[in-house]
Amino acid sequence: MWFEETHNDFFKQAIRVEEKLAEVQSPYQKIEVYRSKEFGNVLVIDGHGMLCDKDEFIYHEMMAHVAMCTHKDPKRVLVIGGGDGGVAKEVLRHPEVHVDMVEIDEEVVKISKEYFPHIGDWENPRLNLTIGDGIEFVKNCQPKQYDIVLVDSTDPEGPAEGLFNRTFYANVFRILKDDGLVVAQGESWWIDMPLHKQIMGVMGEFFKIVMPYRFEMYMYPGCNWNFILASKFYHPTADIILQRADLIDGLRYYNSDIHKASFVLPNYVKQELGDLYKW
Ligand code: SAM
């Protein structure tokens, strides 16, 4: 059998799977888990492939460590979404960092603990998990609480829709300290350039540095995937903390060369982004 994903109305991709291991309809979304011989277990939310055992480390390392090795001395990190636990686990590889994680759907956490037990670091005493809406959380949060915010969300639909708009980023800006920075799921400049530009534009209303970076996610439509780093102060390539970037144990993708190279943009992307690219 095949898990087939349709993206927008013009792109389809499929991977062979052996069986469906779980299906849960939560109050927010439909969550499925498949077993694949080639990709391991596969997490699907509302028909979209989220992650698989084979390449989840790329996404999680690239969301966590680019931010953690750009900021001079991160101590408090907020993760919005990330219910599989992967981004939080990567952040917690950095000693003395405390992670607040706000995930709206408890079913995602439960299913991840059962079918992807190696991805999370749930028992870590430096992790504080809240089951709640990240939109409400940032709205009600006191100013200047966090060094870094990581928005590891699903696509801008359903419960995640409000994680991509101006109100949300006004609040993210407000709860970040004066040298804070945010990294968000930026979709793909290859298969979704209009949406990518829209997210860049919203972040650019508040932050002086707004730079996308790329990595490959074989599970995602078209493979090329982008995060966007927006920063009040530090620059992701000029201020990279090299000694930290190459000293983190256990990484399988991220290193200081990948960090720097991921911010190199193709000509067509630079031309398309124009002034949205604030570097
Ligand atoms: N980390 C995964 C990966 O490697 O691609 C994908 C992201 S993670 C599964 C996306 C999470 O965002 C989901 O668990 C979803 O429940 C959560 N989410 C969506 N909207 C949210 C909101 N408003 N507040 C908090 N979490 C939200």
Question: In terms of domains, do 238 and 148 share one?
Answer: yes
- Tell me the CA–centroid distance for residue 102 and ligand 1, in Å: 9
pLDDT of 160 reads 87
CA angle 208, 210, 215 (to 5 degrees): 160
Query: Domains in the chain: how many in total?
Result: 2
pLDDT of 243 reads 82
> Is ligand 1 within 6 A of the CB of residue 134?
yes
C-alpha to C-alpha distance for 85 and 221, rounded to whole angstroms: 22
> Is ligand 1 within 6 A of the CB of residue 105?
yes
Question: In terms of domains, do 43 and 62 share one?
Answer: no
| CATH at 13 | 2.30.140.10
C-alpha to C-alpha distance for 72 and 30, rounded to whole angstroms: 39
Intervals of the chain under pLDDT 50: none
pLDDT one-digit tens code per residue, 147-158:
999 999 988 888
Residue nearest to atom 5 of ligand 1 (CA): 50
- Tell me the CA–centroid distance for residue 249 and ligand 1, in Å: 26
pLDDT one-digit tens code per residue, 39-95:
999 999 999 999 999 999 999 999 999 999 999 999 999 999 999 999 999 999 999
C-alpha to C-alpha distance for 214 and 229, rounded to whole angstroms: 11
C-alpha to C-alpha distance for 113 and 110, rounded to whole angstroms: 5
Question: In terms of domains, do 126 and 9 share one?
Answer: no
Question: In terms of domains, do 24 and 86 share one?
Answer: no
Question: In terms of domains, do 41 and 75 share one?
Answer: no
pLDDT of 47 reads 95
Question: Can you give the residue range of the structural domain that contains 34?
Answer: 2-52
Whether the model pTM is above 0.75: yes
| CATH at 131 | 3.40.50.150
Question: In terms of domains, do 119 and 26 share one?
Answer: no
- Tell me the CA–centroid distance for residue 160 and ligand 1, in Å: 7
